Structure 1
Amino acid sequence: MGQFLFLLALCALGVRFWPSEDLAQPEQDLQARTCHRLTELRQLAAAGRVAAMVTLGQSFEMGHGLEQNPDSARAWFRKAADAGSAEGAWQLAILLAADTSPPEAEIRELLNRAARSGHAAAGWKLGDAWESALGGPASPDSAFSWYRRAAQAGVDEARTSLALCYVSGIGCTPDTVRALGWMQSAADAGSARAQSWLGRWRLSLLTPADSLQALHDLREAAVKGEGQARVQLASLLGQGPLAWRNERESAFWLRLAAHSGEVAAWTPWARCLEWGRGTRASTREARQWYQRAAEAGDGLAALRLGRMHREGRGGRNSRQQALGWFLKAQQLGETEALHELGRTFEHGARPGDARWQGAVAWYRVGVQRNQLDCQLALARMLHRAPASADEELEAWALLENAADRDHREARLELGRWLLEAEPENGGAARAWQLFQQAIAQGSRDALYTSGQMRLRGQGVPRDRHEAFRFFHRAAERGLAEAWRELGNCYRFGWGTATDFRQAEQCFAQARLLGAEVPPP
């Protein structure tokens, strides 16, 4: 294919072309002819033919008939550009942009020269330079103007950029109709970026027809390699409507996006690897991807990486490494990291020691930032070992506040405290209300405790049938203690018919899940 493109370029320059039957000659003959063509090409370039200069530059850049040599490519592109070639200026700008430290001002000047000479693609990238302040000041008006000129000249990506200007009002008045018109035009011409944007926009309309079209648009863009489309498509396939869900395909697109350098895919792909969702589980690889994402500034990745280090998943456990990543996550704005920092200090701590004080300190920072998990954890610590009556009062106040703010575990904990502290003074009735609220939020522990209250008539009328139903619901959600109590119901006929065989099956399930079951 490379030889064909090279021959085609020579043909366009007027270089003598051999008859087609010569193409069947041995490889050495083909190489000899290539050297002869290069000689002719050099002669044309020396005679001032700028097209020959550009073709020589491309040959050195791509290694077509020559050994790759970026310096020689740059030199020939510069000669062509200095001779007034728009294509030479464009190719030199592209080559310079790939440098480790690209000369932004020179790139902008080259794009300007090429664009003003009628090079449409250079006009599009010049619009990018004006929008992003590459190599000079930003100017939304100039960006819009160059995008429009390039779009009208048929550059598909310029149409997408122009549409985004109309969306956001960059250099123009926002105009949704024009934005959609240009975006659809770019998508119809095959722009993956436009197809991706249209897919995301149609999803926001929340109509079945638009959602199906969105799925189609995103898939088209993903197939063409558009990274954002791959991430969005993976999200739809993993978490969208049930009819669309396909964990394996979701993981497939995330893997492609992650390996192609789409930073937004790194954390979700790591999560797939961590839990084996749609792909083979590998906690070691998950750690690596979380670390890449965390080092790129993803706070959620840093948080999850800290947990893996603390728990020893994907490698040896390291409390210091965990603390380091939790600190980074907190610095990146993940308030949940404050709770994890407190938990890490609290593990193995004794009341009053350095770890205990460290945990309290981090939980207090979390409370100041309205982190409800920190509020619950601090309340538990102060209640467990209050240094004074004021700390006991603070614990109750913290828990009440978290429960009032709909924190499920805080409601469950407050209900338990009330049952212990003042069961006969309205505490049990209040606890019952809290447990029902927690049940509505999906708490299986609240189901179990409600069953206990019904069985004993604690704060509510005794009702063994109702207790049986609570235990049954909690057991269905995998709570070991609920299976044990369900076995007792079958064994003693509480709320159901006595059934020793069924009771033993329940006890066996409870043991399997880790609950202690007394001998018969």
Structure 2
Amino acid sequence: MTHIDVEILRTRARDGDPEAQFDLALRYSEGTGVPESPATAFRWLSKAAEVGHVEAMGALGRCYHGGLGCPEDLGLAIEWYEKALGRGADDVHADLAQVLCDERAEAHRDIERAVRLLREGWDRHEDAACAGILSELYEDEFRDEAESLKWARIAAEAGDGAAMVTLGYRHRFGEGVERDLKKMLYWYRRGAEHGDATAIANLAICYQNGEGVKVDSERAYALREEAAEMGHAGSRVWLAFALVDGTGCEPDPVRARGLLEELAEDDPEVAHDLADRLIDGPGLDQDVEAGLTWMQSAADRGYAPALTYLGVLAWYGKFVELDRAHALSLYQRAMELGDPYAVANVGFATLGGDEVPRDAQRGVELLVAAAEKGNAHAALWLAERWLEGAQDIPRDPARAVQILETCVAHEEDGDVLFHLAELVRDGRGVERNLERAMDLFQLAEINGRDSRVERGLLRRELR
């Protein structure tokens, strides 16, 4: 669109033409032919919506919903979505349902109505987004895996990229379906073809780990670049660390550090990971002072693992003054934020009576809580004692299996997966299942634990 075309459109908009106002708003929203300006887009949408432009009403609801060019206001978002719906809009069912499901909109939250809206949106318009959100609701709100899976399939077949990712994930881990890496790849590839950045990133993981395909680090890097260009934040971070380690590319630690420092300004998790590499990790020249500064920055922003990390340094006096009382206070703050590693550290301290009164029962309770949230150290420690029995911990092999399964459901860990595979293979605390053991050994390998010998022996037994 030329400058003259924009001025003609602007004149029509100023003269009160709602279609021109809506068109001009879209151009400011996207930066097409004019400088991108969410606030200006919001102003023109408001004018068009006030005189009954249906598409503008829905778009204005999205502005209030996401705080685009205006302060976020879920009540006003609902109001404008309702107006658009009342005027026959066919594209706001999913938007309105999402606000009604938003935990921040307590006064307006209505899950049952959201479900009705989503079903209506699907029945009337076959809106893939409606089917996709229904799948999420049945999974998260109603804990109905069968219904969630049904709607995920409907959404995916209708072209919803997020649902394709969900199906790929389910087939990768065997959640509600049989584990099948071919089907995983099928859905990730379909999602990638539909332009879903998460599907592209997950496909990169497959090439990185050799899941369903041969390991191809260069292909993984290229896919991550594609996802990052589409705005996938995790891929931007991955690419920066790939430059540190030379994964699929030539290592460039200087450029990598610059990229990571840029990302760390806005993301405390990146600040934590960068700090870890600078303090004690491979790939970057050691810079303890800068590392501690970044770690403190992440902690100051409420990132719990950073508090735990600083606590560990204080507990052992590594790079900082030894101060276990301070370490425990940092662990306590991290525990309040839900960090399982802090919970485990306090649990072990309580078991041993280190700086706190010894209390075996409380210590075990804390370790169980940590393991159930994905702490591998706690899970392995507990499993070993439940398998054999120990002081204050009676033998219970079934519970050993249970704690390992719960742990890896929250966070995959190669050692936990390997140990669980051994128990499933040997039938200790669980029914013997060689096929499942093979899958678990494969997952352990993907997560960094060498299981080639165990898988080779299992293949012979399975023949």
> Which category of TM-score, normalised to the shorter sequence, fits these structures?
0.5 to 0.7
5+ residue gaps in structure 2?
A: 1-17, 27-32, 34-43, 64-75, 405-414, 421-463
Kept in 1: contact 2:122–2:128 (CA 8 A)? yes
* Aligned residue runs from structure 1 range 361-400, under 5 A: 361-369=255-263, 370-384=266-280, 391-400=287-296
**Structure-2 change in CA distance of 1:473 and 1:385 (3 Å):** closer
Cα deviation 1:242-262 (Å, max 9, x = unaligned): xx3423323322322332334
The TM-score normalised by the length of structure 2 is 0.60
Amino acid at match of 1:248: A
TM superposition shift of 1:362: 2.6
Say whether 1:227 aligns with 2:128.
yes
Listed one character per residue, the Cα deviations across residues 419-464 of structure 1 (whole Å, up to 9, x for unaligned) are 2325995522222122223333333333332233234443444444
- Aligned-pair CA distance for 1:323: 1.0
Q: Please list, as runs of the form range in 1=range in 2, the aligned pairs for 1:66-215 lying within 5 A after superposition.
A: 161=55, 164=58, 180=82, 183-184=85-86, 186=88, 193=91, 196=94, 199-200=97-98, 202-203=100-101, 206=106, 210-215=110-115
Determine which of 247, 250, 271 is the counterpart of 2:148: 250
Letter in 2 for 1:441: L
SS of corresponding position for 2:252 = helix
Distance change >3 Å, CA 422–CA 374, structure 1 → 2? closer
Q: 1:261 aligns with which of 159, 180, 188?
A: 159
Match for 1:366: what amino acid? L
How many Å separate the matches in 2 of 1:366 and 1:405? 17
Cα separation, 2, equivalents of 1:488 and 1:307 = 35
| CA gap 1:424/1:515 in 2 versus in 1, 3 angstroms | farther
Q: Which amino acid aligns with 2:259?
A: V
Distance change in 2, residues 1:196/1:230 (3 Å): same
Residue 316, structure 1, aligned to residue 210, structure 2: no
1:450-488 CA-partner distances (Å, limit 9, x unpaired): 233234443444444543433343455565643565566
Local SS of the residue matching 1:313: coil
Paired with 1:184 and 1:293, the residues of 2 have a C-alpha distance of 33
Residues 386 and 392, structure 1, Cα contact 8 Å, conserved in 2: no
Letter matched to residue 213 of structure 1: R
> What residue identity is the alignment partner of 2:269?
D
Cα offsets for 1:101-134 (capped at 9, x unmatched): xxxxxxxxxxxxxxxxxxxxxxxxxx98995599
Using the alignment, how far apart are the partners of 2:229 and 2:213 within structure 1?
24
Higher radius of gyration, 1 or 2: 1
Are 1:326 and 2:228 matched, yes or no? no
- Whether the aligned pair in 1 keeps the contact of 2:331 and 2:346 (CA below 8 Å) is yes
Hey, what's the Cα distance between the residues in 2 that align with 1:248 and 1:336?
30
CA distance in 2, matches of 1:272, 1:513: 18
Number of aligned residues: 356
Tell me the residue number matched to 2:452: none
d(CA) in 1 for partners of 2:220 and 2:238?
9
Aligned to 1:61: none
The whole-number CA distance in structure 2 between the counterparts of 1:515 and 1:268 is 27
**Preserved CA contact (<8 Å) 1:338 1:366:** no
Q: RMSD over aligned Cα, in angstroms? A: 4.9
TM-score (norm 1): 0.54
Structure 2 CA distance for partners of 1:328 and 1:396, relative to 1, 3 Å:
same
Q: Distance in 2 between matches of 1:456 and 1:423?
A: 24
Query: Which residue identity is paired with 2:133?
Result: Q
Letter matched to residue 444 of structure 1: P
2:416, 2:174 → 1: CA distance? Answer: 24
Distance, in Å, in 2 between the alignment partners of 1:387 and 1:312 is 23
Match of 1:226, as an amino acid? D
Amino acid in the other structure paired with 1:234 = S
Which residue does the alignment assign to 2:252? 358
SS in 2 for 1:314: coil
Please report how far the alpha carbon of residue 196 of structure 1 lies from its aligned counterpart in structure 2 after TM superposition. 4.9
Question: Following the alignment from structure 2 to structure 1, what is the Cα–Cα distance between the partners of residues 77 and 234?
Answer: 40
Q: Deviations over 1:185-204 (max 9, x none)?
A: 63xxxx75465565456556
Note closer, same or farther for the CA distance 1:238–1:404 as it changes in structure 2 (3 Å cut).
same
What residue number does 2:441 align with?
A: none
Q: Which aligned pairs between 1:467-506 and structure 2 lie closer than 5 A?
A: 467-476=363-372, 481-482=377-378, 485-486=381-382, 493=391, 496=392, 499=394, 501=395
Does residue 407 (structure 1) correspond to residue 309 (structure 2)? The answer is: no
